[in-house]
Structure 1
Amino acid sequence: MTEAYWERPWLRFYPPSASKEVAPPEGSVTAYVAEAFRRWAGRTALLYYGRAFRYGELYEGVRRFAAGLQALGLEPGDRVGLYLANSPQFAIAYLGILWAGGVVVPVSPLYTSHELRHQLADSGARFLVVQDALLENAQRAGVDLEGVVVVSLKEALPAWQRLLVRGLPVPKGPGVYPFAHLLRAEPMAAPVSRGPEDLAALPYTGGTTGLPKGVEITHGNLLAAHRMIQSFNPFTERSTILAFLPFYHIYGQVVLLLGGLLSGARLLLFSTPDPDWILEALVRYRATHFFGVPSLYEVLRDHPRTHWVNWRRLEVVLSGADTLHEATAEAFFRRTGREVAEGYGMTETTSASHVNPRDRVKRGSFGVPLPGVQALVVDPDTLRPVPVGEVGELALSGPNVTRGYWKREEENARSFFAEGGFRFFRTGDLVRMDEEGYFYFYDRAKDMIKYKGRPVFPREIEEALRAHPLVKAAGVVGVPDPKVGAYPKAYVVLEPEARGKVTEEELLAFLRERLAPYKLPREIEFRGELPKTDVGKVSRRELREEVEGGAA
């Protein structure tokens, strides 16, 4: 049965447009940018709160910004931090850094100065591009930088909106430059020569323990990921894409920003994911592609304006970055008549590695491997493939897989192994594959609870809790106990009308009908809210830290 992984049963369900393999990328991202931006120079690339930016304008801005960086002393391979929200300036800076031969270090605008300091210091960044509202945070980080470029999002707004927004003054001083200052440079005619093996981006991923690690993403990784995704769900110059997912995150960065701009599409750009604006833009601009995260679909399932949109007309409605709970998918389908196609990916796989074919969605599955991806489900201890249908750790190989973690040799030794002539990356996720080649997520291997030697998956308990009509959110972690190893503890957020009315015993009675006795939480704690990651996932790491610190 383990031979089935190598036979790739999922190929039978590829859409007609999809290739079965992906040719090895050649050249750099910027070579493709130059071709695409010249080809579609007169077309709208970005629409930012009503202001249109043509491809030709972006092309000019990218080349001028690159020249401005070079004038500041940027050398090929230098790392540049990018600390700002979605905006036209983000697109110009990201591509301009690559054009100048630099490496982008994207940073979440939600990060504290402490988190920013680690990322800049660990990456060895020489320069930082920062939003004016985040400049004080960046200064508190205390990292010695050779140049700080300050961006005002106000400058990208339509003229009438700029009158309503108060900007922040850019402080004068050595090493601090307004973004507009760099755009005055004479544009670089051609990008600095880089190859597919050269580093392009260094995003950081937190994992479940320890400090975030830099993930080495090459030009070849970015181009391969783009080809793989486009082969499955292609954009064209007729596509209009909602781009509210954060560009600092690999999902928004690769699927939307690069995917859209390298395909001649039009991106409807938002700095903040306001549901009212998103729904209005979907209708007004007749969007064709919608990419979201589970927490947004949870909002939209009950939003009073969701019915404005003819969801069945859209070419793609997709969810990624976290597990889409079946209760959310069902509620959204009842409301809209549209199945959400779930996908899967990681920073280490340069965004997506799996997605549901849009005409053959299996609810509860995150789909099939993209073209060029070889997937195995292996025993976490032996690294040997397990029989089809059994749960094991997902391992992935392909041209989109990172070459490794930045300055983490021990981590690299643990994370990669060879099998069947392929180099595989251990995702740390527990999954299973069915006989048709569709994959199903169970849990993070590090989150699994061992109760008297039996595996207990927190997600299974969370799904059971969320099936209760009065439960809004749930998080489950293991509490160490020398008698049993660990037992599950649940943190629950009730719907507003149920708070103070639903008891722990009532929820346990509900769970007893759905879970084996050993899977039942020993404790249920009610909360007003749960800690979230910056992409909307329940942060089990923070809940575990509470347990370990005795705060729970």
Structure 2
Amino acid sequence: MDRPHYKFWPKRLPHALTPPATSLWDNLEISARRYPHKPAIVFFGRTTSYAELQEQAERLAARLFALGVRKGDRVLLDMQNCPQLVIAHFAILRANAVVVPVNPMNRAEELKHYITDPDAKVAITTGDLAGEIAKADAQLAPADRLAHLIVTQFTDAFDPDAPDTGPIPAAWRDWLLPRHALPPLASGETMAWAVAIDNALPLPPLEVGPEDLAALPYTSGTTGLPKGCMHPHRSLMHNAVAGNVWGNGTPETVTLAVVPMFHITGMVSMMHSSIYTAATLVMMPRWDRDVAGWLISNWKVTSWTNIPTMVIDLLASPSFASFDLSSLVHIGGGGAAMPQAVAQRLYEHYGLNYIEGYGLTETAAPSHSNPPDAPKQQCLGIPFMSCDARVIDPDTLLEVPSGQQGEIIVHGPMVFNGYWKRPEATAAAFIEFEGRRFFRTGDLGRTDEDGYFFITDRLKRMINASGFKVWPAEVEALMFRHPAIQEACVIAAHDAYRGETVKAVVVLRPQFRGQVREEDIIAWCRENMAVYKVPRIVQFAEALPKSGSGKVMWRTLQEAEPRA
């Protein structure tokens, strides 16, 4: 295979990397031993040292073991970014169990699947979300329910009255500052975070290694409910280490952690990468441009992984002139293309190249990244360290020439093992190519003469709203539960800010026609699904276009939708 991109490869780096043959827990233990007093996390002015992080994670791991968690058990983790998320994540790993990260935007109807599919019996969450988990749990059959729910409050991790908390937006106060009541479980026990970690319980032996399952992040697709992606310690370890090396990470790196850590990018490229090298995570629970500007300025942030809409929003802040971005040495991200004008402004005013990358939940975040010294704008980059990526004809499965469109396929140590309990989906996701197992991304792309990859289209139905991936089949499945909806087809609509937004074309049942309005459907969706999945536009139709076999022709509706 010709590899023209090697001409642009950072000369200081090898093409492939040998990651440590240890568990992800070992990264925290080693960093805490080397740098016990160094800040691991900063959250509203409160600093958690590496020694404190390890101690709290071990105490929670001992509690999990006492609650019956054993090697390979799946534990639900449903939180916004906060120190407790990092503590709980590593506690689950230290208990020899598997992290099931859940998007905190999910509502009860969606959460039921995340309890039953991984057979979770223990969940860890924050007070603002605990009620939704309890509501979902109560609707399950007794045999499927949770046995234990551990609930923390955001203020367990900081003092809102301390003088150095920094700005707390008014819109955050209702969910961030109150101490929410602990909801009862239908067939189990709820425990406060403080009680959970205040123990002298014995720790189990560390029994997991590179091949054991570490995380089960879920991803949706063209059909059915979300599928769990089986990532062993070694796949996440590779990209955590490689991300550090690629981005010149050191123990002095200060990372702005605002990309959600339930998401594979935040989990691997920020959290695990930072813990491996003993960097400092300056954490934000949600996005707010003025909070971000203040944190970068005051904590001298050096590295910021984001989605482009965050950068656009920050640059548009009326307070922007008061922010000091001079400490930043690395800025980049993915999920959506960075507009060229914005990238150019970053470079001209701050000397920062915005480093775009590409990856999926199945590839532990990056499978591609732009070389820091030779990036191209609006480009996926080149195959990441240890990764082989090709562009093939999706029908013949033969590699296509440079410049020609085809499906991107990926092989490397960052690729997941397969889908949890979905052997058919796993088989369909992989092909043998040149004697090796390649993952079919479902994304259409091309390479240029330098070997850089560019995305051109998608084989799979997917809407990209400000970097959030919305899978129409999942939204449709939820919408069909509305009593007035006879049929629904979800497509992408142009949005000036989000890039794409969600639109639903709906056929009402005859008895509801004229009785239910578009805004009624939208309001119901807000009650039953994560807000980023909610259709912003609902269009009623007499019927949906169908093929001769009766399948809804979603592409016909999509192609009729006006483009920018």
Q: Are 1:31 and 2:26 an aligned pair?
A: yes
**Distance (whole Å) between structure 2 residues aligned to residue 421 and residue 341 of structure 1:** 32
Q: Which runs of 5+ in 2 are unaligned?
A: 473-490, 498-521, 545-556
**Distance (whole Å) between structure 1 residues aligned to residue 151 and residue 421 of structure 2:** 29
**Distance (whole Å) between structure 2 residues aligned to residue 535 and residue 232 of structure 1:** 34
Work out whether residues 258 and 287 of structure 2, in 8 Å CA contact, stay in contact via their aligned partners in 1. Answer: yes
What's the offset of the Cα at 1:326? 3.5
Aligned with residue 81 of structure 1, among 63, 76, 85: 76
What's the offset of the Cα at 1:290? 1.1
- Which residue of 2 is the match for residue 433 of structure 1? 447
**Distance (whole Å) between structure 2 residues aligned to residue 546 and residue 123 of structure 1:** 37
What's the offset of the Cα at 1:310? 5.3
**Aligned-residue RMSD, C-alpha:** 3.3
What's the offset of the Cα at 1:444? 1.4
Cα 1:383–1:132 change in 2 (3 A) is: same
- Which SS does the other structure have where 1:150 is aligned? strand
1:127-146 alignment, distance < 5 Å: 127-142=122-137, 143=140, 144-146=145-147
Aligned with residue 68 of structure 1, among 63, 70, 74: 63
- Which SS does the other structure have where 1:260 is aligned? helix
Deviations 1:453-500 (A, max 9, x none): xxxxx99xx9xxx9xxxxxxxx9x9xxxxxxxxxxx9834468xxxxx
Work out whether residues 19 and 231 of structure 1, in 8 Å CA contact, stay in contact via their aligned partners in 2. Answer: no
Pairs aligned (count): 478
- Which residue of 2 is the match for residue 316 of structure 1? 330
**Distance (whole Å) between structure 1 residues aligned to residue 289 and residue 196 of structure 2:** 34
Work out whether residues 297 and 325 of structure 2, in 8 Å CA contact, stay in contact via their aligned partners in 1. Answer: no
What's the offset of the Cα at 1:389? 1.5
**Distance (whole Å) between structure 1 residues aligned to residue 117 and residue 23 of structure 2:** 25
What's the offset of the Cα at 1:271? 0.8
- Which residue of 2 is the match for residue 413 of structure 1? 427
What's the offset of the Cα at 1:287? 0.8
- Which residue of 1 is the match for residue 103 of structure 2? 108
Work out whether residues 445 and 453 of structure 2, in 8 Å CA contact, stay in contact via their aligned partners in 1. Answer: yes
Q: Which runs of 5+ in 1 are unaligned?
A: 449-457, 467-474, 478-488, 496-528
Work out whether residues 332 and 338 of structure 1, in 8 Å CA contact, stay in contact via their aligned partners in 2. Answer: yes
Q: Are 1:92 and 2:94 an aligned pair?
A: no
Q: Are 1:178 and 2:192 an aligned pair?
A: yes
What's the offset of the Cα at 1:90? 0.5
Work out whether residues 355 and 367 of structure 1, in 8 Å CA contact, stay in contact via their aligned partners in 2. Answer: yes
**Distance (whole Å) between structure 1 residues aligned to residue 400 and residue 530 of structure 2:** 32
- Which residue of 2 is the match for residue 154 of structure 1? 155
What's the offset of the Cα at 1:546? 7.9
Aligned with residue 491 of structure 1, among 482, 488, 493: 493
- Which residue of 1 is the match for residue 370 of structure 2? 356
Aligned with residue 167 of structure 1, among 174, 179, 190: 179
Q: Structure 1 residues 226-235 or 274-283, which shifts more?
A: 226-235
Work out whether residues 83 and 106 of structure 1, in 8 Å CA contact, stay in contact via their aligned partners in 2. Answer: yes
Work out whether residues 126 and 145 of structure 1, in 8 Å CA contact, stay in contact via their aligned partners in 2. Answer: yes
What's the offset of the Cα at 1:382? 1.6
Work out whether residues 209 and 541 of structure 1, in 8 Å CA contact, stay in contact via their aligned partners in 2. Answer: no
**Distance (whole Å) between structure 2 residues aligned to residue 176 and residue 297 of structure 1:** 40
Give the structure-2-normalised TM-score.
Answer: 0.78
**Distance (whole Å) between structure 2 residues aligned to residue 160 and residue 76 of structure 1:** 41
- Which residue of 1 is the match for residue 482 of structure 2? none
Aligned with residue 126 of structure 1, among 104, 107, 121: 121
- Which SS does the other structure have where 2:117 is aligned? helix
Cα 1:172–1:300 change in 2 (3 A) is: closer
**How many percent of aligned residue pairs carry the same amino acid?**
33
Q: Are 1:45 and 2:45 an aligned pair?
A: no
Cα 1:540–1:348 change in 2 (3 A) is: farther
1:62-461 alignment, distance < 5 Å: 62-142=57-137, 143=140, 144-158=145-159, 160=161, 165-171=177-183, 174-186=188-200, 192-309=206-323, 311=325, 313-330=327-344, 338-447=352-461
Give the structure-1-normalised TM-score.
Answer: 0.79
Work out whether residues 17 and 232 of structure 1, in 8 Å CA contact, stay in contact via their aligned partners in 2. Answer: no
**Distance (whole Å) between structure 2 residues aligned to residue 78 and residue 55 of structure 1:** 26
- Which SS does the other structure have where 1:267 is aligned? strand
- Which SS does the other structure have where 1:271 is aligned? coil
Cα 1:160–1:490 change in 2 (3 A) is: closer
Work out whether residues 296 and 325 of structure 2, in 8 Å CA contact, stay in contact via their aligned partners in 1. Answer: no
**Distance (whole Å) between structure 2 residues aligned to residue 133 and residue 209 of structure 1:** 31
Work out whether residues 104 and 200 of structure 1, in 8 Å CA contact, stay in contact via their aligned partners in 2. Answer: yes
Q: Structure 1 residues 18-27 or 248-257, which shifts more?
A: 18-27
Deviations 1:371-415 (A, max 9, x none): 100011011112111111211111001001001011111111111
Work out whether residues 60 and 187 of structure 1, in 8 Å CA contact, stay in contact via their aligned partners in 2. Answer: no
Work out whether residues 360 and 366 of structure 2, in 8 Å CA contact, stay in contact via their aligned partners in 1. Answer: yes
What's the offset of the Cα at 1:416? 0.5
**Distance (whole Å) between structure 1 residues aligned to residue 442 and residue 127 of structure 2:** 37
- Which residue of 2 is the match for residue 517 of structure 1? none
